[in-house]
Amino acid sequence: MIPRRTIIEIAANSVRSAIAAEAGGADRVELCEFLEGGGVTPSFGTIAYTRDKLNIPLHVLIRPRVGDFCYGDEELEIMLRDVSMCRQLACDGVVIGALDRDSNIDRDFCIRLIDAAGDMRVVFHRAFDCVLDIDRNWPALTSLGVHGLLTSGASDDANTGAAQIANYVQRNAALEIIAGAGVNAAQVQDLILMTGAHAVHASARQLQQSTAAMRVIAGLDGQFWQTDQELVEQLVQAVRHADTGAQSRFINKIA
């Protein structure tokens, strides 16, 4: 029997965060900027340099702005160019999502992005958590042929939405279900055991304070968030412990 191995994906908001994620033992990085707003697409330079520095798979968030997931023609063009850029830079995957004004998956819009992705992996992000009718939109999601779904189970955090995440895992065994939002080492074992998610997604970040001399002005202070290698290591250890426990429970169940 192949041992269970939950993928650990770190949402990294900079090249330093991505490097810390890999050093801490993460399996994959989802690169973005402005995590405080749910994340947006990072700059060309950030993506290119991060791709050069990482040895683990790199996915890039394709989201042109914060706010809703209903986009216009100009934003589609931006997103298509961003996907093309990621493909040219040999990224391993992109993370996409778009909804229409009735809170349903905008299938035609998403197909354009998926076609542009070529042979890169495609993950549908937490826009799916914002649909009003999950059952209606599930067939639309799976018909897109995406490789994964990043989700909190339509809740504020993954632990609260654990029952829904488990439901997604049962609905489609071929779709990589990535449990994300509020994930940390303290509760990830329960999350894995409750959901059976194929992957977990966390930022493992700490607030950093600049030591540079500067005038402190509202909105321009020296604080910034960055993934912490030690927090990643703690998350990895907790996930591996959970994987061992899940395997033992399965063996005892069939014995």
Rounded distance between C-alpha atoms, residue 34 and residue 30, angstroms: 13
Task: Round to the nearest angstrom and report the end-to-end CA distance of the chain.
Answer: 13
pLDDT (tens digit, 9 = 90+) per residue, 121-166? 999 999 999 999 999 999 999 999 999 999 999 999 999 999 999 9
Separation of alpha carbons 205 and 218, rounded Å: 22
- Tokens for 199, please give them: 């992957």
Whether 255 has a pLDDT exceeding 70, the answer reads: no
Would the CA dihedral through 239, 245, 247, 250 be positive or negative? negative
What does pTM read for this prediction? Answer: 0.92
Q: What is the mean pLDDT of the chain?
A: 93
Q: CATH classification of 7-254, choosing from 3.40.50.10480, 3.20.20.380, 3.20.20.450, 3.40.605.10?
A: 3.20.20.380
Compute the average pLDDT of residues 217-225: 82
Q: What is the average pLDDT across 222-241?
A: 95
Query: Tell me, what's the pLDDT at 31?
Result: 98
Q: Which residues contact 20 (CB under 8 A, 6 or more apart)?
A: 12, 226, 227, 228, 229, 232
* SS3 state of residue 189: helix
pLDDT digit string, tens, across residues 42-82 = 999 999 999 999 999 999 999 999 999 999 999 999 999 99
Report the alpha-carbon distance of residue 43 to residue 250 in Å, rounded. 44
